[in-house]
A and B are shown apart, each in its own frame.
Chain A
Amino acid sequence: MSVTQSSPGRGPVIGTSSGYELVQGSREFRTLRRRLGYFVVPVTVMFLGWYFLYVILAAFAPGFMRITVFGEVNIGLCFGLLQFGSTFLIALGFGRWAPRNFDPLAARMRQRLETGRKP
């Protein structure tokens, strides 16, 4: 199966119409997909759950959010700042993870597909 470059901007057209399906089914591609999924899916579920927990508490448990932690700082404020903290953590974590564990593999596959070697 060969992959050839067609008119610029249209992307490569694979020799046979099911060429991309062959690539999609290849072990290398499935590894790539699984690796990203293992990071992205649980983290997405977690941060959305964490965010909506916060939202629901703010809407329906204002008394809880007003409990003082120290001085004038209450649970609501801490919870809000923790949302900032978790967002920074996930962003920087993914920013470190992707170039080490995903980008090189993806770039290698792209290179191979665009130069027309077998996947």
Chain B
Amino acid sequence: MVTVGTPAVNIAIFALFVAATLVIAVSAAGANRTTTDYYAGGRAFTGRQNGIAIGGDYLSAASFLGIAGLIALYGYDGFLYSIGFLVGWLLVLLLVAGPLRNTGRYTTADVLDLRLRAVPVRAAAAVSTLTVSLFYLLAQMAGAGGLVSLLLGVHSAQGQDVTVAVVGLLMIFYVLVGGMKGTTWVQIVKALLLTVGAAVATVWVLVRAGFSLSSLLGHAAAASPAGRAVLGPGLLYGVNTVSRFNFISLSLALVLGTAGLPHVLMRLYTVPDAAQARRSVVWTICLVGVFYMFTLVLGFGAMWLVGAKQIEAAPGKDNSAVPLLAFHLGGTVFLGLVAAVAFATILAVVAGLTITASASFAHDIYAGVLRRGQADPDSEVRVARITAIVIGLVAVLGGIYAKDVDVAFLVALAFAVAASANLPSILYSFFWPRFTARGALWSIYGGLVSAVGLIIFSPVVSGNAAGLGGAGPSLISDPHVNFAFFPLDNPGLVSIPLAFFLGWLGSVTDPHPSDPARFARMQVRGLTGVGAERGSHG
């Protein structure tokens, strides 16, 4: 096993970062007594602050470690991920941000409830929010395990499990103490650190390549076992027809998934009004776009300077390409810094996901479904805190299981589930007058069950023990176990159109037709913001 750097230095830098972020979370937290404080940070953030925080929430370990790692091993095909991850934001900006902020209070289930007034729909929206959040959490925790074992020199299985558990406990602490306000500040600081760290490494690589993108690509291709094939598409997804459709499916999930990610959408409620919500997203797009351009350079830089062989041999495989590159460029201290930023990234994203999932359970399931909207705010916040603890523990267990799976790949699955289960009902309730409760239920459960079901019966879970064709070996490593009948790794190509279709079918066959007055309210409120809760500056 490989250890890079000096574990003691890495641990010291880690500890410093953790201490600093804890201070931020605690001092920013405030009282956190009301649900608006706890879930939405009092709605007092500006568009710019929130935009950077959304960037911090979105630029997960999958972006920093996963995409750069995929580029380092497969070249161009890794770059394709970052384009889908970026372009999907336009959908949030143009169609979702404004109406969502105007028609909901804390969760996307609020939006559906305003339109359809049906308790089962609220429950369904909460179930899909929780599922997507858990998928995403699993991906983050998987990244944490690999990173920590690489940097802290923890190679024993128990040691890694303990470190994953520590990540989980820290994150529970952030969420319990900091609420949305504390979590937001942690995300803002992390987004800035991450961008600066990636910028420094990018400039460093470019200096080595004489500030020429062309010569960087040339060096990288020369160092890669695949040669110049890395400069064009196809290494990962051009193997055969199935893998090409796999790529189409993935691209669809990436571009439609962002607008259905609950932890991103929930952040739009932390600003005073819809105009600020849109402004947030413009900031996020700039931050995320610039960052992904850095990962392009970092990925090819790692291919050139570190080399595929060393990356493949490292614990965490492609997830460790960036830390290895940092070590190559700036030695122990720079490695420690970059790794600490990556670690802070995981903590911040996990905290964001945890607060979203806990809000969804407490606000939608407990207060909305079990108490039929009659819960008092104190008990709702208490339930949210307890849920945060439970989710943290689940994430720890998941992280211990999924250590060696590529993070970007796992996140792509979460995107597919989000695009299938969440997006159709959100868009229909904003824009389609005939949408009904039955349409919502069919679309949410249909999208959720088909996306998750197709993943279970895909090569991701069984039947590809050898790891051929890009995505890596199946979770079940026994080659004799094969119940994969769905050929694609990503279910999006089937499950997303199916969810849209079911939403339509359920609505047009619903014996209770849509109420035009509710659609009128949705539209008037969505566009003008009449009746939406303002922020404390509003």
Q: Which residue of B lies closest to A96 (CB)?
A: B282
Contact partners of B237 in chain A: CB under 8 A: 58-59
| A11 pairs with B520, CB closer than 8 A | no
| B93 pairs with A17, CB closer than 8 A | no
| B278 pairs with A95, CB closer than 8 A | yes
Determine how close the nearest CB of chain B comes to the CB of A43; give it in whole angstroms: 6
- A73-B89 contact, Cβ under 8 Å, with A11-B530, A20-B520: no
Determine how close the nearest CB of chain A comes to the CB of B458; give it in whole angstroms: 18
- Chain A 89-119: CB-based contact to B (< 8 A → 1; otherwise 0): 0111011001100010011011001100000
Contact partners of A17 in chain B: CB under 8 A: 517
Does A62 have its Cβ within 8 Å of any Cβ on chain B?
yes
A62 to B228, CA, bound (A): 13
Contact partners of B228 in chain A: CB under 8 A: 72
Give B residues with C-beta under 8 Å from A: 76, 79-80, 83-84, 86-87, 89-91, 93-95, 105, 212-215, 217-218, 221, 228, 231-234, 237-238, 244-245, 247-248, 251, 255, 274-275, 278-279, 281-282, 285-286, 289, 292-293, 516-517, 520-521, 523-525, 527-533
| B532 pairs with A70, CB closer than 8 A | no
Determine how close the nearest CB of chain A comes to the CB of B77; give it in whole angstroms: 8
Q: Which residue of A lies closest to B216 (CB)?
A: A72
Listed A/B pairs (10) with beta-carbon separation below 8 Å: A12-B531, A20-B520, A40-B95, A56-B248, A65-B232, A72-B214, A80-B83, A88-B285, A106-B528, A114-B530
Does A60 have its Cβ within 8 Å of any Cβ on chain B?
yes
| A23 pairs with B520, CB closer than 8 A | yes
Give 18 new A-B contacts, CB below 8 A, not counting A74-B232, A91-B281, A113-B524: A9-B105, A21-B517, A24-B523, A44-B91, A44-B95, A54-B83, A55-B247, A58-B237, A58-B247, A62-B238, A65-B76, A72-B218, A73-B217, A80-B76, A88-B289, A90-B90, A98-B275, A103-B275
| B247 pairs with A23, CB closer than 8 A | no
Determine how close the nearest CB of chain B comes to the CB of A26; give it in whole angstroms: 9
Q: Which residue of B lies closest to A29 (CB)?
A: B524
Determine how close the nearest CB of chain B comes to the CB of A44; give it in whole angstroms: 5
Contact partners of B533 in chain A: CB under 8 A: 8-9
Most buried by B among A10, A48, A62, A88: A62
A69 to B214, CA, bound (A): 10
Contact of A110 among B76, B244, B530 (CB under 8 A): B530
| A87 pairs with B275, CB closer than 8 A | no
Q: Which 4 A-B pairs have the closest CB atoms?
A: A11-B531, A71-B214, A95-B282, A66-B232
Q: Which residue of B lies closest to A51 (CB)?
A: B87
A5 to B110, CA, bound (A): 19
Q: Is the interface of B mostly helix, strand, loop or mixed?
A: helix
| B251 pairs with A55, CB closer than 8 A | yes
A69 to B244, CA, bound (A): 25
A103 to B93, CA, bound (A): 14
Q: Which residue of B lies closest to A88 (CB)?
A: B289
Q: Which residue of B lies closest to A54 (CB)?
A: B83
Q: Which residue of B lies closest to A48 (CB)?
A: B255
Contact of A23 among B233, B289, B293, B524 (CB under 8 A): B524
| B90 pairs with A20, CB closer than 8 A | no
Contact partners of A88 in chain B: CB under 8 A: 285-286, 289
Q: Which residue of B lies closest to A52 (CB)?
A: B251
| A72 pairs with B278, CB closer than 8 A | no
Give A residues with C-beta under 8 Å from B: 3, 8-12, 17-18, 20-21, 23-24, 29, 32-33, 36, 40, 43-44, 47-48, 51-52, 54-56, 58-60, 62, 65-66, 70-74, 76-77, 80-81, 83-84, 87-88, 90-92, 94-95, 98-99, 103, 106-107, 109-110, 113-114
A55 to B87, CA, bound (A): 12
| B530 pairs with A95, CB closer than 8 A | no
- A11-B532 contact, Cβ under 8 Å, with A55-B251, A83-B87, A84-B86: yes
- A59-B238 contact, Cβ under 8 Å, with A76-B232, A99-B275: yes
Contact partners of A81 in chain B: CB under 8 A: 293
| B244 pairs with A74, CB closer than 8 A | no
Contact of A71 among B91, B218, B528 (CB under 8 A): B218
Contact partners of B238 in chain A: CB under 8 A: 59, 62
Contact partners of A94 in chain B: CB under 8 A: 93-94, 278, 282
A44 to B213, CA, bound (A): 31
| B529 pairs with A110, CB closer than 8 A | yes
Contact partners of B282 in chain A: CB under 8 A: 91-92, 94-95
Contact partners of A59 in chain B: CB under 8 A: 233, 237-238, 244-245, 247-248
| B285 pairs with A91, CB closer than 8 A | yes
Contact partners of A87 in chain B: CB under 8 A: 86-87, 89-90, 285, 289
Contact of B90 among A8, A44, A66, A77 (CB under 8 A): A44
Contact partners of B212 in chain A: CB under 8 A: 71
A90 to B213, CA, bound (A): 26
Contact partners of A80 in chain B: CB under 8 A: 76, 79-80, 83
Q: Which residue of B lies closest to A39 (CB)?
A: B94
Determine how close the nearest CB of chain B comes to the CB of A28; give it in whole angstroms: 10
- A109-B528 contact, Cβ under 8 Å, with A21-B516, A72-B215: yes
- A47-B275 contact, Cβ under 8 Å, with A24-B524, A36-B527, A72-B218: no
A61 to B445, CA, bound (A): 36
Contact partners of B221 in chain A: CB under 8 A: 72
- A76-B76 contact, Cβ under 8 Å, with A11-B532, A44-B91: yes
